[in-house]
């Protein structure tokens, strides 16, 4: 893992473990981002049953089962890497999941409301918000 990504992941995991009020706010924002960008493949409830995802040879992951597949612990760092585009997600024999980190960065840089110097922080905030939301979907 690249050093800058490792630091980003550590900061993200620390943020996820922080105060519950901030976590809830992040999860609410993450839900909006998820519905706009992720639900088309992963489905409205994260079950891997989105309309576009049904076209893939290998269906998108059931995002509600991430903790179950990791001994009951939500794999925040792996999820951050996947969303940020630093971890291979296989479908059709090649990486098909969009690199959302790059997309969010481009979106932030193109926004007139965001100072370009803050684009990386905005991108990280969006990724961490989606991760916070995905954590709330986990089946116990």
Express each pLDDT in 32-61 by its tens digit.
Answer: 999 999 999 999 999 999 999 888 888 899
Tell me how many domains the chain contains.
1
The pair of three-digit structure tokens given for residue 49, joined into one six-digit string: 């049953």
Q: Please list, in sequence order, all residues whose beta carbon lies within 8 angstroms of the beta carbon of residue 80, skipping any fewer than 6 positions away.
A: 8, 9, 12, 13, 127, 128, 131
Supply the pLDDT for residue 106: 94
Tokens of 71: 């001994």
pTM: 0.78
> Which domain covers residue 48, as residue numbers?
3-136
User: Do the beta carbons of residue 80 and residue 9 sit within 8 Å?
Assistant: yes
Q: What is the pLDDT along the chain (140 residues), one digit of tens a residue?
A: 454 444 455 455 545 445 555 567 789 999 999 999 999 999 999 999 999 988 888 889 999 999 999 999 999 999 999 998 876 555 434 556 778 889 999 999 999 999 999 999 999 999 999 999 999 999 98
72: left (phi over 0), alpha (psi -120 to 50) or beta: left
């Amino acid at each position: 893992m690249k050093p800058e990504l490792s630091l980003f992941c550590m900061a993200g995991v620390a943020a996820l473990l922080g105060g519950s009020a901030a976590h809830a706010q992040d999860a609410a924002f993450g839900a909006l981002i998820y519905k706009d960008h992720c639900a088309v493949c992963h489905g409205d409830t994260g079950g891997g049953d989105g309309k576009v995802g049904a076209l893939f040879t290998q269906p998108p992951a059931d995002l509600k089962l991430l903790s179950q597949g990791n001994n009951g612990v939500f794999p925040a760092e792996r999820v951050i890497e996947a969303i940020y585009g630093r971890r291979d997600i296989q479908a059709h024999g090649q990486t098909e999941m969009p690199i959302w980190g790059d997309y969010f960065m481009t979106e932030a840089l193109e926004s007139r409301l965001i100072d370009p110097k803050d684009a990386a922080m905005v991108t990280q905030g969006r990724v961490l918000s989606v991760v916070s939301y995905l954590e709330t979907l986990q089946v116990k």
